[in-house]
Structure 1
Amino acid sequence: MNQERHKTEWEERIRFVARYYRENVFDPEIGWKKFAAERNIRSRVRIPVWIWQIAAVCLLAIGYGIYRMIEQNQPEWVVITASSTRGKEVFLPDSSRVSLAALAELRYDAKQFGKDNRQVELKGKAFYQVKHREDLPFRVQTHLGNVVVLGTSFLVRELKTAMEVQVLQGRVRMEAGKKKSVLLEAGMSGLYSETNGSIQVRQEADENCLSWKTGELVFRETPLPKVIHDIEVCYEVKLTDLSRASDSLRLSATFKKKPIEEVLLIINQTLDTHLVIEKSRQ
């Protein structure tokens, strides 16, 4: 039965070719139309080539538009890093000035800064002198918290498990941990410790908070542990006291851009200590 049906179909195909074939003028599309019309066969709608071409152009345009939109939303990071031996002065696009301490790193999105935000990210320590803009507050972000600037000049110091903010002029809002933010005014400082998760506010300004930038140290009946700490911060070194002197010792002295060797010599002679540089923090 199947053989008879296949034979009939084959004969019909041969008759079709014999009827419509003309040497050098055979058009398969015209032949198919006649064949389909005689047998009431519905042919599929044929889409003109120009429609496919227009569709391809539209798809390319849409694809390029999506690509451009994604590209425009991608941040364009500017990263500035101070060397291991000295700081660096940086002027931001809004004319704000940032003094980076040694090894500090600052970065910001050049596409958004000054337009949608004035946000920078900090690693290490830096002093900021910010241009005031009521409509666009300046924000410093660290891995532990944020500082929203309401004034002009302040210091941010980022440590591994702590964050310190000192305000010299104006006001800033310090945000860290899950506690409420605190408002710091000129002469105040805030210290956030990841250990206890709180912000400790101090009312008195630290005269030596910018010693690493100015090279000046001022001690007024300052306890020895604080003297050692300030010298370490100023000169980026680690000190040890071989004399194991009492922490109750106090120092009153001023050092202006003195070599650390001279500073230690004067302190050791004055307090009868034996402070030495243990190792560099570099």
Structure 2
Amino acid sequence: MAQKESPLILIIRHFNAPDDAVLAADIQHWRAQQPDHERYYQEVHQLWMAAADAGALAQVDVHASVARLAAKIGLDEGELFTVERLRPRNHLLQWAVGLAAAVVVSVLVYRQYRPAAIHSITRVTHAFKDSVLLSDGSMVYLDTNTAVTYPEQFAAGNRTISFASGNAFFKIAPDDARPFTIDMGHTAVRVLGTSFNIRKAPEQIHVDVKSGRIMFLANDQPKAILNAGAAASYNLQNDSITTFLHQQQNSDAWLTGELRFSDAPLSEVFRTLETYYHVTIDLDTNLSTLGKLNANFNNNKLEEVITLLEQTYPIRIVQKGDRLIIKSKHAL
């Protein structure tokens, strides 16, 4: 990019003349040089788009604007300009034009550098699932009964949202210069670019990493670094964390609708069913001798899963509302 003009001026020229191929190529080359350039370009672009009420500077009616200003200080419009050119005809008018230009520049500088007001949005799901597209391109998928707060636009150098409760799957847009933080009160998850699931209950937080790598923090202290395929459970009561080499297969089942069991003990199967179908399961039989389950379910109703389990194992399942009782078929 030519150094005779500042990047800001050249970017604005580019916005005013998007068909200028040479200027567009210079801007593209400058943006690619370093992340700070790209961030600066995006900030100017957002300011440009937000200032739709101002329009392009090339379209400003200078004659009318200065005439209105001069009228306010007691000059007749006929004294302002010659017919041929918009040129001041006396020193007072030169002062007026200079004042107008100074006001315009001051307003533009103020609009560019004033601290942006950060508007926060709180999304709470109840009976329905939802999703949120964040301003950096990251996606957050919300399960039922989940609450999250996020800024309408992330501040420069910071990507932080608050996760109050529930179950959510995060797909974070990569940005090496701005780590992404999910604040959960005394705990947090920090990432660069990855996908993972967080389930936050009153006494426990469970994290499963699908791709990339995350850092789990408690009281601003790192507790664990989890790579793709790993998981961790943090106990909020005693400040303890347990990590797993392999993530739970079904941590994102609420999002995909798929339940996958591979050599899964029945005790694990029923724990998964409790979470997925939002039921309570009481075990009234010894399941340790009943073998393991290998099965896949895709958006099946609970009754369909119950039928398969009763056909596969010597158990009978009694359903009472949102409570299931598991008994042995041989029990009286």
Counterpart CA distance in 1 for 2:159 and 2:168 is 16
Equivalent residue in structure 1 for 2:126, among 55, 60, 83: 83
Match of 1:124 in 2: 166
Counterpart CA distance in 1 for 2:193 and 2:220 is 24
Match of 2:19 in 1: none
Counterpart CA distance in 1 for 2:313 and 2:249 is 21
Counterpart CA distance in 2 for 1:276 and 1:96 is 43
Deviation string for 1:84-141 (max 9, x for gaps)? 2x31122111111111111111111335x25342111112110001101111111111
Q: Residue 121 of structure 2 aligns to which amino acid in structure 1?
A: V
> CA 1:215–1:268 in structure 2 vs 1: closer, same or farther (change >3 Å)?
same
Counterpart CA distance in 1 for 2:258 and 2:298 is 4
- Asked if residue 115 in structure 1 is aligned to residue 156 in structure 2, the reply is yes
Deviation at 1:212, TM superposition (A): 1.0
Equivalent residue in structure 1 for 2:271, among 214, 225, 229: 229
TM-score by length of 1: 0.67
Match of 1:244 in 2: 285
Counterpart CA distance in 2 for 1:167 and 1:146 is 14
> CA 1:223–1:264 in structure 2 vs 1: closer, same or farther (change >3 Å)?
same
SS of 2:315's equivalent in the other structure is coil
Counterpart CA distance in 1 for 2:311 and 2:185 is 42
Counterpart CA distance in 2 for 1:278 and 1:79 is 36
Counterpart CA distance in 1 for 2:318 and 2:135 is 43
Counterpart CA distance in 1 for 2:320 and 2:172 is 37
Equivalent residue in structure 2 for 1:145, among 177, 181, 187: 187
Match of 1:217 in 2: 259
Q: Residue 258 of structure 2 aligns to which amino acid in structure 1?
A: E
> CA 1:94–1:73 in structure 2 vs 1: closer, same or farther (change >3 Å)?
closer
Deviation string for 1:184-209 (max 9, x for gaps)? 00000111112331221111121111
Residues 1-282 of structure 1 aligned to structure 2 (within 5 Å): 76-84=119-127, 86-110=128-152, 113-122=154-163, 123-176=165-218, 180-241=222-283, 243-249=284-290, 250-277=292-319, 279-280=321-322
> CA 1:269–1:177 in structure 2 vs 1: closer, same or farther (change >3 Å)?
farther
- Runs of at least 4 residues of structure 1 off by over 6 A? none
Counterpart CA distance in 2 for 1:161 and 1:97 is 26
Does the 8 A contact of 1:82 with 1:101 survive in 2? yes
For this pair of structures, how many residues does the alignment match? 208
Counterpart CA distance in 1 for 2:192 and 2:321 is 39
Counterpart CA distance in 1 for 2:229 and 2:185 is 25
Q: Residue 79 of structure 1 aligns to which amino acid in structure 2?
A: T
Deviation at 1:278, TM superposition (A): 5.1
Gapped regions of structure 2 (runs ≥ 5): 1-114, 324-332
Does the 8 A contact of 2:157 with 2:177 survive in 1? no
Q: Residue 198 of structure 1 aligns to which amino acid in structure 2?
A: S
Does the 8 A contact of 2:178 with 2:192 survive in 1? no
Deviation at 1:144, TM superposition (A): 4.4
TM-score by length of 2: 0.58
Provide the identity percentage.
29
